[in-house]
Structure 1
Amino acid sequence: MVSEASVVSEARQPAFVLVRPQMGENIGAAARAMWNFGLDRMRLVAPRDGWPNPASVAMASGAGRLLDGAVLSDDLPGAIGDCDLVLATTARVRGLTKPVYSPEAAMRLARDRIAAGGRVAVLFGPERAGLENTDVAQANGIISVPVNPEFPSLNLAQCVLLCAYEWRRATQEVADVTVEMAGADWASAIEVEKLAEHYEQRLEEAGFFFPDHKAPAMKLTLRNLWSRMPFTREDVKTLHGVMRQMVRWKDRS
């Protein structure tokens, strides 16, 4: 087996440990989910169908480097022996006294431990029934996803994806909202002001502001409308053109 260190990135990150995974396809899907969020340290404990598994390659869809670098162990102690923080994912009540973290809190904890020089492993159980109590007993804490209690089962790759996403959020700046400008520029205040003046002038000529005593409030409403709308320069040009064309059409009729 290729050693983990020979193919993984230099970024410090947790190892995702798939414990007794049953299907190669699910291992490949988990690899893809990990690589979506920049994680590439996969460890495998006693895969049911052996390893390497050709069925995992197609499902990995571009994340084959994780499969090439996956570290294979015969048992769980061998997979986590170098780690000082081990977190086990499970949705079931275990009867074990351990701290239980949300995925978000767990990945923040993993981030802080790794930043302090520690090594972290996150355990994911086999597809049919998840981790056994003997597996969870070897972990320092539990990661529990707030799923529907009437249907708590998560696909292996889904669980990996959730944790990988929270790792990304914990370690990267993620903007709540961005705007795709598509090459456009925002209109300046003076450009919006000129647009407002253009419309106010033409609407005045058309007798829109009627009756007279309501005109100031109507103009104020329109000015407020223009100022709160996020116009691009192209938007402003288009709206100027709309009004000019309407005036030309009126003059022809």
Structure 2
Amino acid sequence: MASLLDGLDVVLVKTRFPENIGMAARACVNMGCSSLRLVDPERWDREKARPLATPKGQDLLDGVTVCPDLSEAVAPTALVVGTTARVGGWRQSLLAPTQAAAAVAEVLARGERVALVFGPEDRGLNNEEITHCHKLTTIPTDPAASSLNLAQAVLLLLYECANAVRNCQKKEGGRAPGESGGGKLVTAAEQERLMESVKDMLLRLDYLHGDNPDYFLMPWRRLFTRAGLRRHEYDALMGLCRQVRHKLG
């Protein structure tokens, strides 16, 4: 029997303590999420994580995927939602958890994969990791006690995603996943290839300059993320980049 949040990958980046991974696994099984990925964990000890995962979380821990970097962890997904407690700078247009969950449910309903990304316990996602996220969400807390345990954050966001999926299923009236029109969304790996091509094109045109071109590329990232690119649109944009490079020699 399929889990409620099949197709959603919880991605924990550079997690410090295996016990937090165990509690996050418990949150996943509570909310019907069957995929947990770790990116370069500081300490990964499955046996230390087991007591915190409860019996139902043991299979999830046994199937944990460990990736060397975030780009590999999210490569097969069509939507990457990052979590952050900080605002400003590279962290623009933050979504409330309910808004992020609605976006997750819409993509899952198409039969495509989603990644929900959480940073290290002590500092969260850094700016480079944020660039791999299509959308950002933050959990509003009391300013006097703003710090959430990693597993608490996972549970809260998965709860919102589970509710959004149930609401989506009611609205869809039982339509099978992937039946909505418009074509397949590009994956995170494909969007990264496109952004590298756009970056190269804009550098050749001397549109991007300075010591930090990736920062000035952020508006383009946000534009393509909002557009929700389909495969034929991706092919057209990649073709445009190739043609511009060819014309510039």
Q: TM-score range by the shorter chain?
A: 0.5 to 0.7
1:40-189 matches, cutoff 5 A: 40-50=34-44, 52-62=45-55, 63-96=57-90, 98-172=92-166
Matching of residue 33 in structure 1 with residue 27 in structure 2? yes
The 8 Å contact of residues 88 and 122 in structure 1, kept in 2 or not, is answered as yes
What percent of counterpart residues are identical? 38
TM-score where L is the length of structure 2: 0.62
The 8 Å contact of residues 15 and 43 in structure 1, kept in 2 or not, is answered as yes
What's the offset of the Cα at 1:10? 8.8
The 8 Å contact of residues 81 and 137 in structure 2, kept in 1 or not, is answered as yes
The 8 Å contact of residues 20 and 48 in structure 1, kept in 2 or not, is answered as yes
Partner SS, residue 151 of structure 2: helix
1:160-239 matches, cutoff 5 A: 160-172=154-166
What's the offset of the Cα at 1:150? 3.1
1:116 partner letter: R
Partner SS, residue 99 of structure 1: coil
What's the offset of the Cα at 1:99? 3.0
Paired position in structure 2 for 1:216: none
Q: Distance in 1 between matches of 2:131 and 2:18?
A: 26
What's the offset of the Cα at 1:140? 0.8
Paired position in structure 2 for 1:184: none
What's the offset of the Cα at 1:169? 1.1
- Structure 2 residue runs without a partner (length 5+): 168-249
Q: Distance in 1 between matches of 2:4 and 2:150?
A: 26
TM-score where L is the length of structure 1: 0.61
What's the offset of the Cα at 1:28? 0.2
State the Cα deviation string for residues 230-252 of structure 1 (Å, max 9, x = none): xxxxxxxxxxxxxxxxxxxxxxx
Paired position in structure 2 for 1:236: none
- Structure 1 residue runs without a partner (length 5+): 1-7, 174-253
State the Cα deviation string for residues 178-223 of structure 1 (Å, max 9, x = none): xxxxxxxxxxxxxxxxxxxxxxxxxxxxxxxxxxxxxxxxxxxxxx
What's the offset of the Cα at 1:61? 1.1
Q: Distance in 2 between matches of 1:143 and 1:10?
A: 21
The 8 Å contact of residues 28 and 34 in structure 2, kept in 1 or not, is answered as yes
Which of structures 1 and 2 has the bigger CA Rg? Answer: 1
Partner SS, residue 60 of structure 2: helix
Residue from 9, 20, 29 that aligns with 2:14: 20
What's the offset of the Cα at 1:172? 2.6
Closer, same or farther: CA 149–65 of 1 in aligned 2, 3 Å: same
Closer, same or farther: CA 160–97 of 1 in aligned 2, 3 Å: closer
What's the offset of the Cα at 1:118? 2.5
Paired position in structure 2 for 1:224: none
